[in-house]
Chains A and B, each alone.
Chain A
Amino acid sequence: MTPLLEVRDLRISFPRDGTTPLVPVDDVSFEVHRGELVALVGESGCGKSLTGLAIPRLLPDNASLGSSTRITMDGTELVTLSESAMRPWRGRRIAMVFQDPMASLNPVMRVGAQIGEAITAHQSVPAPEVRRRAIALLAEVGIADPAERVDAYPHQLSGGMRQRVMIAMALAGEPSLLIADEPTTALDVTVQAQILELLDRLRRERGLAVLLITHDLGIVAGRADRVLVMYGGRIVEAAETTPLFAAPAHPYTRGLFASIPRLTGDGGRLVPIAGTVPPPDQWPEGCRFHPRCPVAIAQCAAERPPLAPVGDHHLAACWVAAGRTP
């Protein structure tokens, strides 16, 4: 079955005065199928948010895509579309939910109006019908008293409710793909679970594909169908969730798992990953993780490892994990 979304050779660069451009995302390729929940996991600075923004072409004006970059959705190539040709896709086929629901909602506009915008931006719908749909969406995302809440201002709602509103706004256009960039990071732990539950339910009920961008491996377990691990602007491991959690192949992924505190187990020391993430203009040659890698070999510094199979539907970009040299 053809994938809903295909990203090939995504490369994002920013020009800099007097020196080489900054390339925070380099050669990222993946697919998302209808109804799938794909998690894009990585620390801050690895380029995952930029990857998410690239799909609906919401990158800053000074960003350039690589010449071989292709972003294809339902057969249409998005990279070559003009801005006015792109706008009908946003909200309508591709929707985004952002990290900070307070800052992502216009403080002087009622939430109902903001949801309504997502509808009227793409269809000509009479006002009473827009309002009815907005109330229905609020109910669908689990907000109590939707008929009253629809006239509320963002500051009158709690953090969890605001994020639900954001999801309602995202659903208003009936998209096929929802990109959620750290949707729960700004929320309390209990609310986090509720929001993720909501996303899951909507996915099942509407057949929505979800690209979940997060740094938190914990929320990925039991929800994502597939996981993509990013480091240094590249994908270093890609697998279905269960095999990844059972046997992470890439040393970085292993390091991530090892540094998660566990309630069970022998309560040993947390094992952090040595070193820190270098800034995007100081990525090392070869495998970008090699200076911090506990099992690095000479090969790793010299040549960049490609994504290679290390198991069933399980890819990793690591010379050691793939057990081979070129």
Chain B
Amino acid sequence: MTGWLLRRSVDALLTTVLATVAVIALVHLLPGDPLTAIVGDRAIDPVQRAALEQTWGTNRPPLDAIGVTLSHLLRGDLGISFATQRPVATMIAERIGPTLLLGGLTLLLTFAIGLSLGLWSALHPTTLRARLIGTATLIGYALPTFVIGMLLVWGLAVRSPLLPSGGFADPLLSPDAGGAAVLLDRLQHLALPLLTMVLATVAVPLRQQRAAALGTAAQPWVLAARARGVPQARLAWHHVWRPALTPIVTLVGLWLPMLVAGAVFVEALFSWPGLGSLLATGTTQRDVPVVIGAGLLLVAMVQVGSLIADVLYHLVDPAQRPR
């Protein structure tokens, strides 16, 4: 197991490094002067120019430049943002939390709801409720995330103002407000973006779980367990759901890039102060250091997530575990 884990981790690391190189190389390989690519139409003074040459190697051949940038990256130096003049690394650090919060909760909710509804649908396939669930999730999947978001804002924030339509926290909330008030405020602001993300992606684990559970429910071992007198609840959990789990875990790895794309648009729509909206505003402002920094971090997070999913897969499937 450890041997495999080591190899898989090295693989993930290698892919991340190569992906990083690719992203940096993009800037250098575009037609024209890399300095222009980074700076755009802005006017810069000699001090700024020198700093850029230092970090991005804009005055050197592409290969050298990539090396220079990589070495800076490893030291945690991602350059200075044009828009805010602050270190990109600092800006990113501020934004990781909200993205992890939104992304993490989305992952938990989507899989919890998707798996349980999917299992239920497989155990009661002919009921109207099961068919409705299937259709509703498919519609959610087909709708673009930001359209779902706007529909929710329209319904729950504008027509009947139950929830705030954006932001992370109420700026008017008194700093002396108690912990409960703060928590409630945070939850209220989290509600719509979270609901949007979940609605947009719950179809994937739900349909996968339903298909897998339909497959296992028909297996002979379920009949054999019934013949032993095993009660219905235990049958559903241990003999239908648990064996169907292995393909579900691989889903996480595939679903993560979808999460990133959703995060960018949803964070932008709801002014959620995370990496996604940073990426979006950075691109609008042509703030290349910020875009590259935030983008690379998202890439790394996807790789880590995918690695964790693979580890989980190995833990869940006893046939894979070494003995």
Contact = CB atoms under 8 A, between A and B. Distances in A.
A–B: direct contact at CB < 8 Å: yes
Contact of A108 (B224, B226, B231, B242): B242
A206 interface: no
23 contacts: A56-B227, A58-B226, A58-B227, A90-B227, A92-B229, A98-B227, A103-B220, A104-B223, A105-B221, A106-B225, A107-B243, A107-B319, A108-B316, A108-B317, A109-B239, A109-B242, A114-B228, A117-B230, A121-B228, A121-B230, A153-B318, A166-B224, A169-B228
Contacts of B229: 87-92, 118, 121-122, 173
Contacts of B225: 106, 114, 117
Closest 3 CB pairs of A and B: A91-B229, A91-B228, A90-B229
A90 B224 contact: no
A89 B228 CA distance: 9
A158 interface: no
Contacts of A173: 228-229
A32 interface: no
Contacts of B318: 107-108, 153, 155
Contacts of B239: 106, 109
Contact of B221 (A103, A121, A122): A103
Given A107-B243, A153-B319, A121 B224 contact: no
Interface string B242-272: 1101100000000000000000000000000
B221, B239, B319, B323: which has the most chain A beta carbons within 10 Å? B221
B186 interface: no
B234 interface: yes
Nearest to A122: B229
Interface residues of B, number: 24
B238 interface: yes
Given A106-B239, A108-B317, A98 B228 contact: no
A100 B231 contact: no
Interface string B303-323: 000000000000011110001
A259 interface: no
B55 to A, nearest CB: 51
A166 B228 CA distance: 10
B224, B230, B323: which has the most chain A beta carbons within 10 Å? B224
Interface range for A: 20 to 34
Interface of B: 219-221, 223-231, 234, 238-239, 242-243, 245-246, 316-319, 323
A156 interface: yes
A48 B239 CA distance: 26
Interface in A143-185: 153, 155-156, 166, 169-170, 172-173
A244 interface: no
Contacts of A56: 227
A96 B224 contact: yes
A228 interface: no
Interface string A263-293: 0000000000000000000000000000000
A108 B237 CA distance: 12
Contacts of A170: 228
Contacts of A96: 224, 227
A107 B215 CA distance: 14
Nearest to B323: A156
Contacts of A105: 221, 224
Contacts of A90: 226-229
